[in-house]
Every structure is written in structure tokens, then in C-alpha cells.
Amino acid sequence: MIRTDTFLSTKLYKCWTAKTIFMVGGAAATKFIVVTGGVLSGLGKGVAAASIGNLVAAGGNKVIAIKCDGYLNVDPGTMNPVEHGEVFVLDDGGEVDMDFGHYERFLGITCSRDWNLTMGKVFETIRTKERRGDFLGKTVQLIPHVSDEIRNHFHHVATTEQADVVLIEVGGTVGDLENELYIEACRALGKEVGEENILYVHLTYVPIPAGVSEQKSKPTQQSVAQLRERGIEPHIIIGRCSEYLTPAIREKISTFCGVAKEAVITGLDVSYVYELPLIFAKEGMIDLLQDELGVHAKLRPNWIELVQSLQSPKQEVTIALCGKYTALEDSYASIVEALHHCRANLHTNITLSFIDTTDITSCADAQNLLKGVDGVIVPGGFGARGVEGKIHVVRCCRENNIPFLGICYGLQLAVIEFARNVCGLKNASSTEFNEQTPDPVVDILPEQKQIVNKGGTMRLGAYAADLQKGSLVRQLYGGKPKASERHRHRYEVNPAYHEILQKNGLVFSGLSPDGTLVEFIELPNHPYFVGTQAHPELKSKLEEPAPLFYGLIKACLETSSS
């Protein structure tokens, strides 16, 4: 509930500045905002947390985010993207939950792998400490030892980053066995730092059953009751709903859940997640953050303009995303977001067509599926399924002047297609899916050959590339001689084939600083044929779209109008 007390003691006093509550002596206390969820998964806790952080960061605060996942994997790197969603890769090489994409895009920060806690990481740390004798003969228990480890990690990250505000998102829903220790750690954190330094936000679901046309509060009531059983009283409740919450439902949730009516906020279904900070501001979140936590918050003016541009495009293109994980859009979440960023900055509606390449058996099949398409993206991936279909798609784009962007695996397949159909190496392939190929134009990185473990062992994180003078790619990166993008791969364009590929017209527009790894390719005399070994979508932001995506959409607009 909203606090109306004017806290004052011999140790602390409230200083209503643009920042925080100050300790006597001048040291600022870190604020914590804990976001939990109830009723069902997939409600959008990550977007809600990022949207709150967006408002707080705009107020001049340094905001960082911690995500707590309940699974026993150390990280999501070995998970199938159709099951878990996209693996988000950070500059430091961390493979983390896709919500970190929201944090970076909304907060304008570069996250660290240490900000993603999984139960796999936590238990691994506890086990190491126990074997080392750190617990001094005590019986190691889930509470307090594991929950204390989690809470201490919160403080460690906050101190290391010198954060004004730390967002903590607890994955899953209240009542899940997997997140009980995280919730206990967050409860204990509140007792430790004091109520003036912590804010509990609970996201729930407010359904409108078919044939009833009435918003229902019972799922929210039950979810909040479960949270209270675990010792946490929420200060703000966000009700995810297809409509704005009515005064009646706000009043009911307020009465039964023990929060002020004005602290019941609509988490409205939106077309674009970037609308949510504006919705929260309209619903009174800025005043709540200032009154409840003493932090200054506001809307970012350029954010408002870009959201308006998202909502009212003036042009239109259709992009085909040709992959094999099309059963779940979250498999390509950052690519989708990168296209939204282009939409906002180019005032262009981008219709995305997902094409599963598994059943494409010829260039004619590909050409038929690409009718009406203005541009094509072949994204990253692994394994043999759908590979030949993607190669047919690449050929169709190259021969028919369809703007094309190949990402990671997409670059490698573009090289294979070029080797087969331009260089005359008819059986060219990658040793990833054809170890017996006579022409391995794509081969495993030398340092990967002796690696046995799968998790966290790829070429991961940000790497710089030298860009060729006069190339389209260098032009797209603003004429700069270097570009740094994030990577996640084990295979490379085989250096033994560099000469024949370039001799036949493939331009290596970006190489690793030692000249051995092909980071960017392009074809001259084509409207737009670009590939990168990196994942540029991971660093794309609403205010600054990824250059290669921006270039693709511009090329589509130019070719469709000619």
C-alpha cells in the first residue's frame, strides 16, 4: 500500500531530491524493485520490469536488472529455442534469458552475465563452497544458506555496479516450486534494507471470459494471497488485461489485496512493447515510484516520438524470415525487435512472414514462397534440418535481386550457395552437417576442435571486425573502420577457400583483426546482399536500429518503389 509516513530517526532521514533516500553522512542507499508474477507464465514480467526501469532511468538514476530463473541449467545456452525462446548473448559472452534484451533496449545499458541467476548457478556455487569447507561444519540447508546466497548476490551486483536502483525479476509464477528460494530471498532483502528502500510489484492476469464481458479479479486475489503467504505484501499490482481496468475492478482488487486503489495499474495488451512505459505513465506509475520509493522518474521525450512513429507508419514492406524455429516467434525475438526499430525510424510498416525451410527442395519452391516478398532474412541456427531449403532461398535472392540479409548461419549458407553455383564447387558444404564434403568451405573453428562440453564453449560475446574501405557494410556503419557485434558460433568460412570466393566476386567486407575470420560479406551489383557472422540484432535499440537491418529495409523500400 502507499506509504504516507514521514520516516525520521537518528540514523536516517528522507531527502526528497531527484535521487533517493540518503544516509546521514552522505552515502546513498540502493533501491530495489522486485517484480513477481502470478496466475500464469508468459504475462510479460520482463517487459513490465523493463518499462518501470525505463521511467526510473529517464529520471537520472543508474538502473540495472537482475533476472532470477528457476531452472537447473547453468544458462539457457543448450536449450531448444522453441522450448525456451531466444538465447540472448551479451558483450561479455554470457548466454542469458531473452528478457535481458528488453533490459538493454529499454534501459540503454549493457548487461553482465552476473546479472542472470539460475538455480543451476546457485546450487553449483553452494556445492563448491560446501566442498571447500566454507560452511564450517554446518548442515547446509535451502533456508537460510541457499536463500542467503541469492540475497548476497543481489547486494554484490548492486555494489559492484554502484547502482541507484536494482530491478529484480523473479521468473515463473508465485507457487512454483522452482522460484520459492528466490521469493524467500526477496522477502528477506526487504527486511534487511528497510521498507523505504524496496518496492514489490506483482503482475497478474485479469481475464474477460467469453460471453461474460466482465473483468474478473479472482485470479489476482488468489495470486496475491499466495504471495502474502510467503511474507511479501505487494505495493503495486499490475493487472494484465486486454482493456484498461475499470474503476470497479480496481476497487475490488484494492479491497481484497490490501493496496491503494491508485496502486492498481493496467498492464494493457499492446501491439508493441515500447508502448508500455507510456501506458504506465498514464496509469500513474511515475507518481507511485516517487511516493513509494523516493526515486525520480519520467518519460523520455524521444521515446514518445518513436512510439508514435511505430503506431502510424507511412510505407510498407514484407520481409520473409526463413528458418526452422518458426513454431515459436520468441525463437527470433531480437530479430523481430530489430525490425520494429526500423519501422519506427523509417516510418515503415514491416509485415513479417515466417517461412519454414524444411520442405523447400528447389529454387523454384523458394521462388514460389517468396512471391510478394520485398526482402529476406536467413537467421542463425544449428544442425542439418532445413539447410538445403535455406540454400535454395539464398540462391533465389541472389539471382533475382531480392534484398537479403544472412545472420550467422545465414552468412555460412550464403557462402556455400556462392561456392556451389558461382565458384563451381558443386559439392561444397559445411562440416557441421556434412563431414565428408570434398569442399568444406565452412569448417569448425580450430579452437573448437578439442572441446567436449556444449555449454558456454562457443565463440561468444562481442568481437571487433575491420571493415573494408569503400564497402557497403562500412558505409552502413557510418564509415567507421571498425564494428563490434556479438557472436555465437562454432564454425567459420574456411580460410583455405577465401581466395577462390573473392576471386569469383564475393566481397569480404569485414574481417577479424588478424584477417582469418570472415565477419561480413556482400555482393556488388546487387540491391542488397549482405551477410554477417555476428548477431547484430542483439545490440539494436529503438533509438538506434542495427545498421544491417536498417540497410535491408531501406533497400527494400528503394527496390519496391523502382
Helix or strand holding residue 320 (H, E): strand 315-323
pLDDT at 3: 39
Is residue 4 pLDDT above 50, yes or no? Answer: no
- Dihedral of the alpha carbons of 244, 245, 247, 253, in degrees to the nearest 10: -160
Vertex 350: Cα angle to 354 and 108 (nearest 5): 100
- Least Cα distance to 403 among 539, 558, 534 occurs for 558
Higher-pLDDT residue of 187 and 74 is: 187
Higher-pLDDT residue of 335 and 325 is: 335
Mean pLDDT within 100-126: 96
Q: Do 454 and 525 have their domain in common?
A: yes
pLDDT at 380: 84
Q: Do 161 and 296 have their domain in common?
A: yes
CB 181 within 8 A of CB 146: yes
Q: How confident is the model over 520-557, as pLDDT tens digits?
A: 999 999 999 999 999 999 999 999 999 999 999 999 99
Q: Do 377 and 505 have their domain in common?
A: yes
Q: How confident is the model over 133-150, as pLDDT tens digits?
A: 999 889 999 999 999 999
Q: Are strands 22-23 and 165-170 parallel, antiparallel or unpaired?
A: unpaired
Q: Cell match 533456508: residue?
A: 143
**535 a catalytic residue:** yes
What's the rounded Cα separation, in Å, for the pair 229 and 175? 10
C-alpha cell at 97: 534469458
Helices 180-193 + 147-161 axis angle, to 10: 60
pLDDT at 26: 38
pLDDT at 459: 83
Q: Do 420 and 488 have their domain in common?
A: yes
Q: Do 220 and 76 have their domain in common?
A: yes
CB 203 within 8 A of CB 35: yes
Q: How confident is the model over 271-318, as pLDDT tens digits?
A: 999 999 999 999 999 999 999 999 999 999 899 999 999 999 999 999
Q: Do 405 and 427 have their domain in common?
A: yes
C-alpha dihedral sign at 183, 186, 188, 194: negative
- Count Cβ atoms within 10 A of the Cβ of residue 259 and give its class: 0-12 exposed, 13-18 middle, 19 or more buried: buried
What's the rounded Cα separation, in Å, for the pair 65 and 196? 19
Residue 6 lies in a domain: no
What is Dmax (Cα atoms) for the chain?
82
- Least Cα distance to 223 among 202, 241, 196 occurs for 202
Q: Do 253 and 231 have their domain in common?
A: yes
**489 a catalytic residue:** no
Helices 99-107 + 45-58 axis angle, to 10: 20
Number of DSSP helices (H) and strands (E) in the chain, helices first: 18, 23
Identity of residue 106: F
pLDDT at 13: 31
Q: Cell match 544516509: residue?
A: 23
* Helix, coil or strand: residue 562: coil
DSSP assignments along 33-71, one per residue: EEEEE-SSS-S-HHHHHHHHHHHHHHTT--EEEEEEE-S
Residue 519 lies in a domain: yes
Residue 556 lies in a domain: yes
Residue 547 lies in a domain: yes
Radius of gyration from C-alpha coordinates of the chain: 25
DSSP assignments along 120-143, one per residue: HHHHHHHHHHHHHTTTTTPPP-II
Mean pLDDT within 245-249: 97
Q: Do 278 and 398 have their domain in common?
A: no
Q: Give the residues across from 209 on adjacent strands.
A: none
Q: Do 262 and 338 have their domain in common?
A: no
**Alpha-carbon separation of residue 389 from 358, 415, 417 (angstroms):** 6, 15, 11
CB 396 within 8 A of CB 340: no
pLDDT at 483: 97
Residue 436 lies in a domain: yes
Q: Do 168 and 194 have their domain in common?
A: yes
**CATH label of the domain that carries residue 90:** 3.40.50.300
Is residue 512 pLDDT above 70, yes or no? Answer: yes
The number of distinct structural domains making up the chain is 2
Residue 7 lies in a domain: no
pLDDT at 446: 75
What confidence tier does 84 reach under pLDDT thresholds 50, 70, 90? low
**CATH label of the domain that carries residue 423:** 3.40.50.880
Residue 3 lies in a domain: no
- 231 torsion bin: left (phi>0), alpha (psi -120 to 50), beta (else): left
pLDDT at 456: 67
pLDDT at 83: 67
C-alpha dihedral sign at 254, 255, 258, 261: positive
pLDDT at 202: 98
Q: What is the pTM of this model?
A: 0.90
Last residue of a domain, one of 284, 305, 326: 305
Which residues are within 8 A (CB) of 40 and not within 5 positions of it... i.e. 6 or more apart?
Answer: 173, 205
DSSP assignments along 255-271, one per residue: HHHTS-GGGEEEEE--S
- Whole-number average pLDDT of the chain: 90
What confidence tier does 454 reach under pLDDT thresholds 50, 70, 90? low
What's the rounded Cα separation, in Å, for the pair 31 and 52? 13
Is residue 246 pLDDT above 50, yes or no? Answer: yes
Q: Do 170 and 38 have their domain in common?
A: yes
Residue 387 lies in a domain: yes
What's the rounded Cα separation, in Å, for the pair 120 and 125? 9
**498 a catalytic residue:** no
Q: Are strands 529-532 and 404-407 parallel, antiparallel or unpaired?
A: parallel
Q: Give the residues across from 348 on adjacent strands.
A: 315
Is residue 194 pLDDT above 90, yes or no? Answer: yes
- Least Cα distance to 321 among 384, 373, 273 occurs for 373
- Looking at 396, 408, 423, 556, which residue is catalytic? 408
Q: Cell match 514489490: residue?
A: 200
3-state helix/strand/coil string of 224-281: HHHHHHCCCCCCEEEEEECCCCCHHHHHHHHHHHCCCHHHEEEEECCCCHHHHHHHHH
The residue segments making up the domain with residue 208 are: 31-305
pLDDT at 254: 97
Report which DSSP code applies to 29: P
Helix or strand holding residue 203 (H, E): strand 198-205
What's the rounded Cα separation, in Å, for the pair 275 and 540? 17
Q: Do 263 and 328 have their domain in common?
A: no
Last residue of a domain, one of 261, 285, 305: 305
Last residue of a domain, one of 282, 305, 328: 305
pLDDT at 301: 86
Which residues are within 8 A (CB) of 517 and not within 5 positions of it... i.e. 6 or more apart?
Answer: 492, 493, 511, 533
